Amino acid sequence: MGKRKKREQSEGGFTVPLSPGARRALVGLLILAVLGGVIYFLIVRFQGRSAILARHEASLQDYLKVRGTGAAPAQPYVRGKIVTVDRTVKEIDPIFLDLPADLRADSQEDVGAVVFLNWQMKDTGLVVVTKGTTPVPGAPRLYERTCDITVVDRTTGQVSAQTTVTSKLNQEKYVPDDIHEGRPVSQVLSYLTGLTRK
């Protein structure tokens, strides 16, 4: 009987069940491995994005000297690849990193157009309330976020496109200023990627 049991164990791929402590240790190792992979990915991504921004930060003063003249044409366009500049704080706007690769300039030499962004926040005079309830004193204010977009053709110095986008005035989706920034980033990206390329 003992010989048959040993034979079955060897032929059937007998495995010893893990103890609860060993199982916890294995799960812990798997969690650490996954977290390590995520952290590594985020570090590499951050370094890559930082390197891209650093290349343009060195040319920021040149971009700020670009002064678009004239009104935007009836057929707005963008020439070549672009860099986005926050005109208020005078720095490369991080929305630049969200542009598609075929529109995002890798270096100053690639920049065919400078896009100036002017972010603003306007008080709508409304407050944030739960739908169907009465506003209470001290309720958070409801803000409308806008962004003025001016695209300047670097070759001609002319304004090639210009518009203002805004976050939607939807009481159910609005949140107070101190909870979420709520910039109309997707609208800016949609406008820039939709422009005619030259």
* pLDDT at residue number 156: 93
Report angle CA 163, 164, 170 to the nearest 5 degrees.
Answer: 145
Neighbours of 94 (CB within 10 A): 12
* pLDDT at residue number 41: 54
Domain covering 58-197 in this structure, CATH number: 3.30.160
For every one of its 198 residues, what pLDDT tens digit does the chain have, with 9 covering 90 and above? 444 544 444 445 556 677 777 777 777 778 877 776 667 555 655 555 566 777 788 888 999 998 889 999 999 999 999 999 998 999 999 899 899 999 999 888 999 999 999 999 887 777 766 666 666 676 777 778 889 999 999 999 999 999 999 876 544 444 444 344 578 888 899 999 999 999
Cα–Cα distance for residue pair 185/191, rounded to 1 Å = 10
* pLDDT at residue number 48: 55
* pLDDT at residue number 196: 94
H-helix or E-strand spanning residue 19: none
Radius of gyration over every alpha carbon of the chain, rounded to an integer in angstroms: 28
Q: Report domain extents, the chain.
A: 18-56, 58-197
* pLDDT at residue number 168: 61
Cα–Cα distance for residue pair 150/132, rounded to 1 Å = 40
- The residue count of the chain comes to 198
* pLDDT at residue number 126: 72
